[in-house]
Chain A
Amino acid sequence: MRHLLAAALVVSSLPADAADADRGATLYEERCTGCHSLDANRVGPKHRGVFGRKAGGVPDFRYSNGVGNSTVVWDETTLDRWLANPQGFIAGARMGFRVGEAADRADLIAFLKRESGK
């Protein structure tokens, strides 16, 4: 019994799978650069510094009224909800692109966080 308890304690103390920013970089290149880049506004706003930034916060990008007027601040939680369903998260958003897999969203967010210097 004590061996089983010790094993359970070891397992419970193991960290959950950490998000992979390097994989996120690959996913960003493959899936996001159709509309975005880190350092230039294209169809979508640039992403450098997005982590911790208020939605609609890139000064020289024309946002939808929904995103421009939003009080959302981008962090792990809000980015996850956004990437899962942008128009469901912020009404009036123009972005319809979704990232269906939770692990993919986590890795993308880890990459964006890293590229924001966080």
Chain B
Amino acid sequence: MTNAIRSPRGINRRGFLDNGQTFLSAGVIALLAGCTTNAAMPMSSGSAEGDVAILNVALSLEHEAIDAYQLGAESKLLDKPVLDVAVLFQGHHKEHRDALAATVRKLGGTPVEPKMMNDYATVLNAGAIKSQGDILVLAAKLERGAANAYLGVIPSFKDTELAKIAGRLAADETMHWTALAGALKQNLPQKALSFAA
């Protein structure tokens, strides 16, 4: 077991490289500081409540992704180089989680809490995973789904700052998917504009 997946308290559901640091993107930092391109707080979807709801759905996705990578790491099926990439990608999702939660609070909402790991294991059918390849297939599917989800919510944000954040999050997920698809030797899309319309 590498140091990367063991915290001083042993492995726990938050222990994956959880060193307490929160890295927020420049755009999110600006949002949190109220320093948007407009002086007023961003308003989207006609109501802050609608934006909080969308952001909490995104946060739910990030919780699932974090635990999905945790399940993969704890399976002991991953070769060291693959495990290192899983750790890296999980770290990205933790940054997404922290940024989304902070934005939800800033908008006056309550960030949604993660489910229990067993719940994620059940809905993701973790019991069917028998190989490193199975883990990579699941991860690629989740990352592509997340990329499309972030792209798909962009029109619902009337505020360009939140829309931009969704776009940047989608870019991260697309990067993850591309790396995983390459590891699986999947063909790249032959047509342009293959992600959410």
**Interfacial residues, chain A to chain B (CB-CB below 8 A):** 29-35, 37, 40-44, 64, 85-87, 92-101, 104
Which of A34, A37, A41, A85 meets B144, CB within 8 Å? A34
User: In the complex where A40-B122, A87-B45, A100-B155 touch, is A35 in contact with B57 (Cβ < 8 A)?
Assistant: yes
Given contacts A96-B153, A98-B156, contact A35 B61 (CB under 8 A): yes
For A29, A30, A34, A95, the residue with the greatest tally of chain B CB atoms inside 10 Å of its CB is A34
A96-B144 in contact (CB<8A):
no
Known contacts A31-B196, A87-B45, A40 near B145 by CB under 8 Å: no
Chain A interface: which of B32-40, B48-56, B180-188? B48-56
Closest 3 CB pairs of A and B: A34-B145, A96-B54, A96-B156
Interface of chain B, main secondary structure: helix
Contact A96 B57 (CB under 8 A): yes
Given contacts A30-B144, A35-B61, contact A98 B122 (CB under 8 A): no
Nearest CB on A from B67, distance (A): 12
Q: Are A96 and B53 in contact (CB under 8 A)?
A: yes
Task: Report which B residues bind A (CB closer than 8 A).
Answer: 45-46, 49-50, 53-54, 56-57, 60-61, 64, 122-123, 125, 141-142, 144-149, 152-153, 155-157, 194, 196-197
Cross-chain contact B156 with A87 (CB below 8 angstroms) = yes
A94 surroundings in chain B (CB, below 8 A): 53-54, 56-57
In the assembled complex, 20 residue pairs joining A and B whose CB atoms fall closer than 8 Å, in A order, are A32-B145, A33-B141, A34-B142, A34-B149, A35-B60, A35-B61, A41-B123, A43-B57, A43-B61, A85-B155, A87-B46, A87-B54, A92-B49, A92-B53, A95-B57, A96-B57, A96-B153, A98-B156, A101-B197, A104-B197
Q: A40-B123, A64-B53 are in contact. Are A35 and B197 (CB under 8 A)?
A: no
Enumerate chain B residues within 8 angstroms of A104, measured Cβ to Cβ: 197
Question: In the assembled complex, which residues on chain B have CB atoms less than 8 Å from the CB atom of A95?
Answer: 54, 57
- How many angstroms between the C-alpha atoms of A35 and B173 in the bound complex? 14
**Beta-carbon nearest neighbor of B54 in chain A:** A96
Pick the contact of A35: B56, B125, B149 (CB < 8 A).
B149
Q: How far in angstroms is the closest Cβ of chain B from A114?
A: 21
Q: For the complex formed, measure the closest distance between the CB of B107 and the CB atoms of chain A, giving whole angstroms.
A: 14
The residue in chain A whose Cβ has the minimal distance to the Cβ of B142 is A34
- Interchain CA distance A43-B56 in the complex, whole Å: 10
- List, in ascending order, chain B residues with CB within 8 A of A86's CB: 156
Give the docked Cα–Cα distance between A44 and B123 (Å).
11
Q: Which residues of B contact A93 (CB under 8 A)?
A: 53
